[in-house]
Amino acid sequence: RKEVEQDPGPFNVPEGATVAFNCTYSNSASQSFFWYRQDCRKEPKLLMSVYSSGNEDGRFTAQLNRASQYISLLIRDSKLSDSATYLCVCMDTGRRALTFGSGTRLQVQP
């Protein structure tokens, strides 16, 4: 079983739609969580951190449920430019290395 599991998608949504991605992690020692974005043939880049209380950054909302070991990302009012792969990422602070999921591919269509 992978340490970080994501639905690979693709999620095909129209512009303006709301879409949600989920992620589960198996390492209970994971303490910090992030969403990264990776455009096709590009390097991953940090989208946002995920805090226990939930956090929002513009159209993006991240949630963490430690009891269920579950992380989510909600994108409202999808734009064509949101088309990318979204990587769920965990960090065990004892290790300092990030563990990436396989990613969920989003395609926003006009």
- 57, amino acid identity: D
Closer residue to other proteins (CB): 22 or 32: 32
Interface pattern 2-41 for other proteins (x via CB under 8 A):
--x---x-----------------------x-x-------
Q: How far is CA 83 from the centre of its chain?
A: 13
Closer residue to other proteins (CB): 72 or 102: 102
Closer residue to other proteins (CB): 75 or 89: 89
Gyration radius of the chain's alpha carbons:
13
Cα separations in angstroms, 103 against 34, 47, 87: 12, 13, 4
